Structure 1
Amino acid sequence: MVSQLLVQRFGVAAARIGDETPLAALGLDSLALEELRLLIEDRLDIDLETVELTPRDTVGRLVAVVGQEAVA
């Protein structure tokens, strides 16, 4: 779902998305990360308010955080 949002909403090429890829390398700044966070919260009905992500974090970290919150 995270990869799908990155491709559909942010125009990231699917081939560029990998677990070790920094979010900044995909063109996501702090404003885009906030938009992505809100989209994820809405789609999965979870709360990521307390999660701190920066453009230096990786796609893998984002996926892990979303997974943790989804099962909590």
Structure 2
Amino acid sequence: MRTSEEISALLVANFGTDPLAIRPEVPLRQLRLDSLALEELRLLIEDRLAIDLEDVALTSRDTVGRLVAAVHERARA
């Protein structure tokens, strides 16, 4: 499964996000992800993909595409 698909699956399963709303240009806050939800998502991604995102700084103003790019970059490292 691709990085974007993994993240989409986590958003749908754990946060009840509408799959059609998950697009690269959409800000995370538009998906109703506040700082606490972003931290929970980070932990879920780390667990699912076995990567470390501790020093990746994301806010609810970042887009889904930025999140996917940051995760993809870490997964390749």
TM-score (normalizing by structure 1): 0.99
- Corresponding residue to 1:19 among 10, 15, 24: 24
**% identical equivalent positions:** 65
1:49 aligns with 2:54: yes
- In the other structure, the counterpart of 1:61 is 66
1:30 aligns with 2:57: no
Q: Which amino acid aligns with 1:45?
A: A
- Corresponding residue to 2:11 among 6, 10, 28: 6
For 1:62 and 1:54, locate their aligned partners in 2 and report how far apart those are by CA, in whole Å: 9
CA RMSD of aligned residues (A): 0.4
Q: Could you list the runs of 4 or more consecutive aligned residues of structure 1 that deviate by over 3 angstroms after TM superposition?
A: none
Unaligned runs of 5+ in 2: 1-5
Unaligned runs of 5+ in 1: none
Shift of the alpha carbon at 1:47? 0.3
TM-score (normalizing by structure 2): 0.92
For 1:37 and 1:60, locate their aligned partners in 2 and report how far apart those are by CA, in whole Å: 15
